[in-house]
Structures are given as structure tokens and as C-alpha cells.
Structure 1
């Protein structure tokens, strides 16, 4: 059900330290809310969501304010995810996650935080827990156009939007997009922009996704992507998400090599290179694996292309050798990097 309100914007009653996803430094005190010094305005739009198939939780956000990723998203694997925005009090994030971890529902946690807040009218918050329960709040003093929608495993919230179609479009895009959680979260941000987005323009964006594995630690993060200052932050978010996926594939290649699965490793390297074609480090490690697989001509071509971007690529490999990280590969590295 959509709720709209009058306002949602800048500084007042901001919680202590601007921290985001779990693992960053906690505030000096854990009082549930106010009495806090200054505030930061992140008049903005965001989405908080659970992928029920994988258990991943995520938050995506864009705004016309510097460094939104340090303020709005708060997540903990297996517990929940929160976006706190408008006149931001980050204790909605920190204390909210603690309340969810202690067994509160999002509805109860949000009610407890609002009850302790001396100025709830300027807050906007979305919460989703690991069971898919959701809750949201748009204060009566948020800057128009402002409102939110909730569903099972998802909340969308926005304030200071060009028009009140922004948050319905976000929810529709999230629900209508295929792909993994990150893809669907970014689709929601793109849909917001298509409806006009933040009436002030755009400056920063963030995407945070935490894993849904049963063995995930509280500090585990799959993606933590931040664009602190850019004229087209969503374009940069797309680029960095692809780069992150490339490095995920690179990790997969290393893991496959560690257990002797050369064919799988080569496939991972190909995927990494396709996702990040200009990344010389991916190309360097791919060159070594391809060279070692017997395709020495292609391996050398890949190596030289990495060398053209970063002239110290050969030294990169030699330093790994010296540290004992490439056992038995001394001759292989020497042959690959021989410029004679």
C-alpha cells in the first residue's frame, strides 16, 4: 500500500558516526535515537530487498548528495537490510539491525525506533528481514513528492521526487526484472530515473548486497559499490557492478586452479575478461593460465596486452613467486615474461 507525505530532506538530528553496512565502526553510544548533534540530508530514493531463492539481502540508492553509500544502506547476512534517509539518523540503521538480530519483526523494530525519535516526521526508513517481512515509514514532514510501498521481501521509498510515480515504478521494475538481486535492484533505480528521479538531479549512488549462505559471517559482503560523486552515478554503478562480477569470476578461476580444475579455471578467466575487458590484472592472470594450459602463443599475447597497460606486470608475477604464492611456477613465469 502506498503512503505519501508532505516532506523529506536535509539536516537535522543525525545519529553519531556515519556508518553503513555491518562491519564499520559503531556509534559511540547506542541510545536508540535522538539528542544527536547534526543531521545529513539524503533526500533520495532507495530500495531494500530480499532474494528468497538465495537469501541475499540488498539495498540500492541514488541521490543528489555526496557519498550516499556511507549513510543510507545497513545490512547483516541472515538478519536484515535497512535504508535510512531523508533527514538521516543513522541509528535507525545501526540500532535497527541490532533489533532485528534480537528477534524483532521489522514492524516492531521500526515502531520502537520511531517512538524514541523526537522528530520522526522528517525520517524515511525501509526495513526487510531475512524472512521477507517488511516495514517502511515516510514521515509527514518529508519533502514532496514522497512516499513508499512495501511487499513481501521488498520496500521502496523516495522523497523530493519530481513526481509521485517514482516509487511505484521502482517496485514494478524490481518485480518485473529477471536476473539476480543486484540486477533487479539496479533496474529499480533506473526506473526511478525514468520517472524523473530526484528533483535536484543526481550525484551519488550505492549498491550493497550481502550473501544468504547459512555459514555467512555478519561482516560478509558480496557487493559494496559506491559512487560518491558523479554526474551520471548509475552509469558508473553499472560499470563497477560489471567489474565486481569480473573479479568474482577471477576468484572462481583461482579456486578452480587450487583444486586442479584447469578447464573450469579457463572458463572462469574467459568470463572475467568478458566482464572487465580493460582490466590488466585479470588479463595478466589469464595469460599465465592460458600459457600454462599449452596455448603459449595466446598466453603471450594476453601477457603483452597486460604489459601495455601496466609495464610492471612481469614484476607483479615475480613478486608473487618470491612470496611463495606460485610454487613450482618459476620456469613458467620466466618463459611467459621473457622479453628477449
Structure 2
């Protein structure tokens, strides 16, 4: 669907991240963040959320705490192929995929990029999944959300409607890296309310 980034991805510094997919229930992501921030571990948080959702069989949910491991749920009524791969420090999941090889390609791309920055690892995983078939009906949107030490995101890029969302995500990523990220890194933080300033006053 268009605009997946608005509802699918959730993260909080020092707590973890969550993704809600398939028949999206945004509160799975919102409530996952609340539970993680309260110190509930990812597995317990996922179990509580799925048990409380009357349509859990139509949902996908992935949750990872600040120190891992990732845990996932794929309901029995998600559109095939639907599944997930869980790893100590990441997960990949999807529904209506060309097959399990899509998840395997994404995981391989992520793991094969260990020396790359985190944002680059995620982009490569998206590109790899699309390259081997991705969504059986094609992709229309993509997003990249990363939090670091602050409550505002370090990366928040959204492709809401595009014929080549992975390619457009890559293009926007490169623009963001060069033009936006330096500004974000100079913004006020909880520890440094004035922010970092250079000789231009930025």
C-alpha cells in the first residue's frame, strides 16, 4: 500500500524497534514501544500484544529490544507467501512475497554488509528483496526509520508512491546523507541543549 512508513515502523532510543505489517494495526507498534520502554522484553511484549489483538491471525509483528534478540509473529491468515527470519540482532519479515527466498536474500544482504553503516545495511536488504521478486503484486512504497540517542529520528525517509520505491529510497537516502544528516547531527540533544554549531552558525 502507499505510505507504509506512516504506520508500519516504530522505534525508540535505548528501547528497541517494532514493525507491524499485513493487515496493519498501528497500535501494535505504538504499544510495543511503550512496553519496551517500561522494561518488558521483546518476547513478552509480542506475546501480550498478539493475545490482545482479536484479529491477530491477519497480522505480522516484529519486535526487537535494545540488545536483541528479534522476535516475530506471522498470523495464519496473512497472504502467502508470509513468513519471517529471526536473528540475534535483526529480523526480516513480509507477506504476499514471491517466496521464502525473498527473506533469505534480505537476510544475506544485511549480514553481508557488516562493515557498512546501519542505514546502508537496511537499504541493501530492501534492494536485495526487491531484486529477487519482492511483493508478488509489486512495491509502491518504502521507508527507512532509524533512531540513535535522541527521541527524534536520525533517519526518517519515506517513499509514499513510486514505480521504483527501492530505487527512490536509495536516491533519497543519498540526498539525506549528504544534505540532511549533517544538520541533524548539529541539532540540540538532551545532553547538549544548544546543539553543535560550526563557523557558519548552523
Same fold (TM > 0.5): yes
Within 5 Å, give how 1:262-301 maps onto structure 2: none
Task: Classify the secondary structure of the residue corresponding to 1:144.
Answer: coil
Distance change in 2, residues 1:252/1:228 (3 Å): closer
Could you report, residue by residue, the CA deviation over 1:242-284 in whole angstroms, capped at 9, with x for unpaired residues?
Answer: 11111224667995634xxxxxxxxxxxxxxxxxxxxxxxxxx
1:84 is matched with: 20
Match of residue 128 from structure 1: 64
* Structure 1 residues 245 and 113: alpha-carbon distance in aligned structure 2, compared to 1, 3 A threshold: same
Give the Cα separation in 2 of the matches to 1:244 and 1:110.
Answer: 32
Give the whole-Å Cα distance in 2 for the aligned partners of 1:87 and 1:232. Answer: 23
Distance of aligned partners of 1:251 and 1:74 in 2 relative to their CA distance in 1, 3 Å threshold: closer
Q: What is the DSSP-based 3-state SS (H/G/I as helix, E as strand, rest coil) of the residue aligned with 2:153?
A: coil
Name the CA shift for 1:192/1:251 in 2 (closer, same or farther; >3 Å).
Answer: closer
Who is 1:203 aligned against? Answer: 140
Give distance in 1, aligned partners of 2:60 and 2:15. Answer: 20
- The Cα shift of 1:163 comes to 1.8
Where structure 2 has 5 or more consecutive residues not aligned to the other structure, the ranges are 188-195
Is the Cα contact below 8 Å between 1:163 and 1:195 reproduced in 2? no
Retained in 2: the 8 A contact 1:110–1:135? yes
Structure 1 portions without partners, runs of 5+? 1-64, 259-288, 290-324, 327-340
Whether the 8 Å CA contact 1:225–1:240 is kept in 2: the answer is yes
Does 2:192 match 1:223? no
Deviations along 1:171-202, whole A, 9 cap, x unmatched? 11101113111100011111111210000111
- What is the CA–CA distance in structure 2 between the aligned matches of 1:252 and 1:126, rounded to whole Å? 28
For 1:127 and 1:256, locate their aligned partners in 2 and report how far apart those are by CA, in whole Å: 36
Determine the C-alpha separation between the residues in 1 that align with 2:198 and 2:87.
43
In structure 1, distance between residues paired with 2:61 and 2:45: 11
Q: Secondary structure at the match of 2:100?
A: coil
1:183-198 to structure 2, matched below 5 A, reads 183-198=120-135
8 Å contact kept, 1:205–1:233: yes
| Aligned match for 2:166, one of 234, 245, 269 | 234
Does the residue aligned with 1:229 lie in a helix, a strand or coil?
Answer: coil
Structure-1 residue corresponding to 2:101: 165
Aligned residues: 192
- SS of the equivalent of 1:128 reads strand
Question: Which of 69, 74, 91 is the matching residue for 1:138?
Answer: 74
The answer to whether the Cα contact below 8 Å between 1:105 and 1:133 also exists between their aligned partners in 2 is no
Pick from 118, 124, 133: which aligns with 1:181?
118
RMSD: 1.9
Distance apart, 1:162 and its partner CA? 1.3
After TM superposition, the structure 1 = structure 2 runs for residues 1-340 of structure 1, keeping only pairs within 5 Å, are 65-177=1-113, 178-211=115-148, 213=149, 216=150, 219-247=151-179, 248-249=181-182, 255=196, 257-258=198-199
Q: CA deviation at 1:111?
A: 0.3
After superposition, what is the alpha-carbon deviation per residue over 1:125-158, rounded to whole angstroms, capped at 9, x for unaligned? 1111111221100111111111101111111101
Q: Which position in structure 1 is the counterpart of 2:191?
A: none
Scaled by the length of structure 1, the TM-score of the pair is: 0.54
How far apart are the structure 2 equivalents of 1:246 and 1:231? 24
Decide which structure has the larger Cα Rg and report it.
1
Counterpart secondary structure, 2:23: strand
